[in-house]
């Protein structure tokens, strides 16, 4: 197998409060191949977004990369200088954020906000850049792109704004696109369009995608491989199909069991929705041993004492659980 | 746009009428009149008959609503009446004072903007730094200092001890006489502007769209130039507008202290003399200026921020 586009190795992200480092993300490793779509799932606060921000070098205090390596196209992004990182950002790695409402500058026409990419990375003049921005808008299937380019963000719908974000992110043909909950803030019907757009454009341009979501259905749809995160750890990493057919980690199993099934009530009558007991612990109060152990239904004695290591599964993939170790 | 301006200007009419009404009621409630104030120095007490005749001549013996109706009638013809004291038309008296007042207000606001905005900006760029802490403590102090005390201290230090500037008066209207009163008046808007600028810049630096800008691979200086400045400007501009208005009001104290021949000192003198037409004229002028400045600021903000509609 050729070298992957991105290899994250034992990444730790520290949250520093009053001089004390808390590992918000710990020992996270995964790879993404060229053109591959990799999914990261987990509840809010499990460290998905923070991991993405680390990949693009946008962690701000009190968060910082504590240890590990982020290998990307021959660079280690965990070690790289600020100026080199800035040149990669937008050009080779770009990001789409969750909130299209606030992610665009309200006082600047959207065309200009796309055009900035060409000025920054392609050395274009503003006139050229504005022209290419209209083309970029057309490529994300915005109707009447030459008129829309002059619009301000508040004049566009959420879906349109997210299209603008995608146009910005893909403007310079990046190798890796980080999509952090790109459809969470949108209507369901719009969600499908946006996902299709991301899938089509990344496939056409050979862009690899890190798709972050709490939505298992979306991840199953979009990704070949999936990583499941819980409380700052990657607890399971496998082919998407395997994960959903036969989850190895009790947390993944719990997540899948808690999916409400469409039509279940009609078939089986009224029933309580499944849930995982308890809540995600806060970063400053992670439990000893396996971080999932207080909520785990299949807890063993050693789970509360020892942190499980990663185990390779026979069917391929990895899991971090004593039941498999 | 023009329709909007016209509508806004028409809206000022009821406000001005309400202000005129309040002043009328106030002066009918507070004891004393122009005639009685002439005897206030204790040297001469006017005869009751003389006072009654004087009040009659000045039209003060009529009932309140008659006087108010008469005044509004005059206002409709842009006539503010005549001063009780000098018998000159109030419009002329005010026109004389308008330029010194404008000089003082503009100079103090320029001082506040030129120092306060960069200070707040630099503090926000390095939150928690020495510059940040020092300037913000100074800003709180600047806001809390009483203007008359600050004025006296400035006089003491820069006029009496150092002799750099004259201690009071208008002189020939040059810059030298303007400096101390402008500083005394400008310190509190400066402090407020510094704090507002800092807060708004900090807020914008943490905004999602600034994160987006960074994710594009923009340098911090470009982030500031392309995305921060315009957004911060709206907030700063609004503060400048409000402060401009309050500076004109607060000028009363400073003008009196530095014997500055502006509207403020005219107002104070006229109040103590119960020279009602002049008081009315001064206050209406100040209110009008305040309203116009706010209108200008609203229009400017709408030009910068496309989300603001002319409605």
Q: Are strands A208-213 and A37-41 parallel, antiparallel or unpaired?
A: parallel
Reduced to 3 states (helix: H, G, I; strand: E, B; else coil), residue B68 is helix
Task: Place A95 in a pLDDT band, splitting at 50, 70 and 90.
Answer: very high
Confidence of residue B27 (pLDDT cuts 50, 70, 90): confident
**Does domain B97-304 bear CATH number 1.10.3720.10?**
yes
Do residues B148 and B253 make contact, with C-beta atoms less than 8 angstroms apart? yes
pLDDT at B180 (0 to 100): 87
Q: How far apart are CA B203 and CA B120, in angstroms?
A: 12
What was the pLDDT predicted at A48?
92
The predicted pLDDT at position A50 comes to 94
Mutate to test the interface with B, among A105, A121, A156 (most CBs of B within 10 A): A105
Average pLDDT, chain A: 90
CA dist., res. B162 & res. A92, Å (int): 62
Mean pLDDT in residue range B266-284: 87
Which secondary structure element, helix H or strand E, spans residue A23, and what is its range? strand A20-32
Q: Average pLDDT in the A22-47 region?
A: 91
What are the chain A neighbours of B231 within 8 Å (beta carbons)? 105-107
Residue B252: is its pLDDT beyond 90? no
CATH 1.10.3720.10 in chain B, residue ranges? 97-304
Looking at beta carbons, which residues of chain A come within 8 Å of B129? Answer: none
User: Quick check: A211 pLDDT over 60?
Assistant: yes
Q: Name the range with the highest mean pLDDT among A85-94, A262-271, B247-256.
A: A85-94
Give the pLDDT band (50/70/90) at residue B41: low
Q: Which chain B residues touch A155 with a CB distance below 8 Å? A: 306
The per-residue pLDDT for A149 is 95
Q: Do A105 and B217 touch (CB under 8 A)?
A: no
| Residues paired with A214 in a beta bridge | none
Predicted local distance difference test score (pLDDT) of residue A38: 95
Query: What is chain B's mean pLDDT, rounded?
Result: 85
Q: Which residues contact B246 (CB under 8 A, 6 or more apart)?
A: B189
Q: Flag whether residue B217 sits within 8 Å of chain A, measured between CB atoms.
A: yes
Of B146, B139, B110, nearest to B244 (Cα)? B110
* pLDDT of the residue at B169: 77
pLDDT score of B42: 53
Q: Which residue in the set A95, A99, A152 is minimally distant from B215, CB to CB?
A: A95
DSSP single-letter state for residue A194: H
Nearest to A52 by CA among A164, A177, A148, A162: A177
| Of B74, B77, B97, the residue nearest B269 (C-alpha) | B97
Chain-chain contact of A58 with B214 (C-beta, under 8 angstroms): yes
Query: In this complex, do A105 and B213 lie within 8 Å of one another by their Cβ atoms?
Result: yes
Contacts with A, B 171-210, CB within 8 Å: 207-209
Residue B68 scores a pLDDT above 90: no
- Tens-place pLDDT, residues A304-314: 888 898 899 88
Contacts of A54 in chain B (CB under 8 A): none
Sheet (strand A37-41) strand order:
A93-96, A176-180, A208-213, A37-41, A225-230, A233-239, A318-319, A311-312
What is the distance between the alpha carbons of residues A238 and A318, in angstroms, rounded to a whole number? 6
With cut-offs at 50, 70 and 90, classify the pLDDT of residue B311.
Answer: low
Q: For the residues of A200-252, what is the DSSP string, one character each?
A: HHHHHHT-EEEEEES-HHHHHHH-SEEEEEETTEEEEEEEHHHHHHS--SHHH
**Confidence band for B43, pLDDT divided at 50, 70 and 90:** low
Q: Do A104 and B212 touch (CB under 8 A)?
A: yes
Selection from B203, B230, B227, B229 nearest residue B214 by Cα = B227
Q: Is A44 helix (H, G, I), strand (E, B) or coil?
A: coil
Among A53, A99, A106, most B C-beta atoms within 10 A, so best to mutate, is A106
CA distances from A294 to A151, A291, A319 (A): 51, 8, 18
> Mean pLDDT, to the nearest integer, of B172-176?
75
Hey, which residues 130-169 in chain B have their CB within 8 Å of chain A? none
CA B1 to chain CA centroid, nearest Å: 27
* Cα B151–Cα B243–Cα B124 angle in degrees, nearest 5: 95
Higher pLDDT, A317 or A274: A317
Q: Are A322 and A302 in contact (CB under 8 A)?
A: yes
Q: Give whichever of A106-120, A211-225, B143-157 has the largest mean pLDDT.
A: A106-120
Strand, helix or coil at A9? Answer: strand
Residue A236 is predicted with a pLDDT of 93
Average pLDDT over residues A212-222: 89
Q: Which residues of B touch A165 (CB under 8 A)?
A: 212
The reported pLDDT for the residue numbered B164 is 86
Tell me if A148 sits within 8 A of A137, measured CB to CB: yes
Chain B residues inside the 8 Å CB shell of A106: 209, 231, 305-307
- Chain A residues with CB-CB distance to B under 8 A? 56, 58, 86-91, 94-95, 97, 99, 102-108, 116-117, 120-121, 152, 154-155, 165, 168
For an interface test with B, give the residue of A101, A107, A120 to mutate (most B CBs within 10 A). A107
- B230 in reach of chain A (CB within 8 A): yes
Neighboring chain B residues of A82 at a CB cutoff of 8 Å: none
Q: Which residues contact A61 (CB under 8 A, 6 or more apart)?
A: A16
Candidate from A90, A91, A103 with C-beta closest to B209: A103
CA distance A20 to A178: 29
Q: How far is B208 from chain A (nearest CA, A)?
A: 5
Residue B236 half-sphere exposure toward CB, CA atoms < 13 A: 28
Sign of the CA dihedral running A201, A205, A206, A212: negative
Length of chain A in residues, anyone?
Answer: 325
CB A238 within 8 A of CB A298: no
Sign (positive or negative) of CA dihedral B127, B131, B132, B134: positive
ipTM of the assembly?
0.89
Q: How far apart are CA B49 and CA A218, in angstroms?
A: 95
How remote is the C-alpha of A83 from its chain's centroid?
Answer: 24
Say what angle helices A110-121 and A158-170 make with each other, to 10 degrees.
10
Cα nearest neighbour of B219 on chain A: A86
Say what percent of chain B tops pLDDT 90.
22
Instruction: State the Cα–Cα distance between residues A136 and B215, nearest whole angstrom.
Output: 18
Nearest to B215 among A89, A154, A155 (CB): A89
* Alpha-carbon distances, residue B119 vs A298, B107, B112, B182 (angstroms): 59, 18, 10, 19
Residues of chain B with C-beta less than 8 angstroms from the C-beta of A121? 217
């Amino acid at each position: 197998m050729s070298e992957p586009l991105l290899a994250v190795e034992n990444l730790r992200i520290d949250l520093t409060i009053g001089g004390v480092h808390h590992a918000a993300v710990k020992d996270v490793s995964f790879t993404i191949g060229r053109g591959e779509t990799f999914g990261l799932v987990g509840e809010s606060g499990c460290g998905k977004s923070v991991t993405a921000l680390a990949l693009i070098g946008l962690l701000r205090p009190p968060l910082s990369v504590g240890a590990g390596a982020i290998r990307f196209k021959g660079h280690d992004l965990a070690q790289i200088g600020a100026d080199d990182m800035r040149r990669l950002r937008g050009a080779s790695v770009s990001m789409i954020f969750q909130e299209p409402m606030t992610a665009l500058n309200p006082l600047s026409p959207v065309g200009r906000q796309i055009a900035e990419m060409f000025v920054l990375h392609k050395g274009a003049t503003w006139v050229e850049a504005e022209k290419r921005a209209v083309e970029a808008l057309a490529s994300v299937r915005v109707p009447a792109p030459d008129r829309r380019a002059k619009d301000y963000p508040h004049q566009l719908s959420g879906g349109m704004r997210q299209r603008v974000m995608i146009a910005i992110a893909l403007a310079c043909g990046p190798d890796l696109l980080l999509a952090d909950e790109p459809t969470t803030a949108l209507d369901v019907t719009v969600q499908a369009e946006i996902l299709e757009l991301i899938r089509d454009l990344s496939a056409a341009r050979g862009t690899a995608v890190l798709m972050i979501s709490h939505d298992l259905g979306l991840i199953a749809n979009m990704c070949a491989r999936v990583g499941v995160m819980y409380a700052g750890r990657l607890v399971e990493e496998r082919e998407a199909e395997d994960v959903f057919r036969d989850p190895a980690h009790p947390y993944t199993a719990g997540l899948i069991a808690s999916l409400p099934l469409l039509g279940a009530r009609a078939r089986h009558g009224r029933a309580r929705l499944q849930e995982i007991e308890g809540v995600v612990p806060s970063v400053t109060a992670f439990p000893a041993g396996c971080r999932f152990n207080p909520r785990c239904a299949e807890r063993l004695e050693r789970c509360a004492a020892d942190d499980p290591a990663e185990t390779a599964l026979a069917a391929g993939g990895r899991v971090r659980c004593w039941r498999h170790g | 746009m023009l329709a909007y301006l016209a509508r806004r200007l028409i809206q000022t009419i009821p406000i001005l009428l309400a202000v005129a009404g309040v002043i009328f009621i106030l002066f009918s409630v507070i004891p004393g009149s122009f005639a009685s104030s002439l005897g206030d120095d204790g040297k001469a007490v006017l005869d009751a008959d003389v006072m009654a005749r004087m009040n009659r001549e000045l039209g003060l013996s009529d009932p309140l609503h008659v006087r108010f109706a008469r005044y509004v009638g005059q206002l409709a013809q842009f006539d503010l009446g005549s001063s009780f004291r000098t018998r000159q038309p109030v419009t002329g008296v005010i026109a004389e004072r308008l330029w010194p007042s404008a000089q003082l207000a503009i100079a103090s606001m320029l001082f506040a903007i030129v120092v306060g905005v960069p200070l707040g900006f630099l503090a926000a760029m390095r939150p928690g730094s020495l510059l940040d802490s020092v300037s913000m403590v100074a800003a709180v102090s600047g806001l809390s200092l009483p203007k008359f005390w600050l004025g006296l201290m400035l006089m003491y230090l820069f006029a009496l001890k150092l002799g750099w500037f004259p201690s009071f008066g208008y002189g020939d209207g040059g810059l030298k006489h303007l400096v101390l009163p402008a500083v005394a008046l400008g310190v509190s808007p400066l402090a407020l502007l510094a704090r507002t600028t800092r807060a708004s810049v900090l807020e914008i630096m943490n905004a999602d769209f600034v994160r987006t800008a960074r994710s594009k691979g923009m340098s911090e200086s470009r982030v500031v130039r392309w995305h921060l400045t315009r957004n911060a400007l709206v907030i700063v501009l609004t503060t400048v507008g409000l402060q401009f208005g309050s500076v004109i009001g607060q000028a009363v104290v400073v003008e009196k202290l530095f014997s500055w021949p502006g509207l403020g000192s005219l107002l104070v003198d006229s109040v103590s003399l119960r020279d009602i037409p002049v008081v009315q004229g001064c206050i209406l002028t100040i209110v009008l200026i305040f309203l116009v400045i706010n209108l200008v600021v609203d229009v400017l903000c709408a030009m910068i921020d496309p989300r603001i509609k002319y409605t």
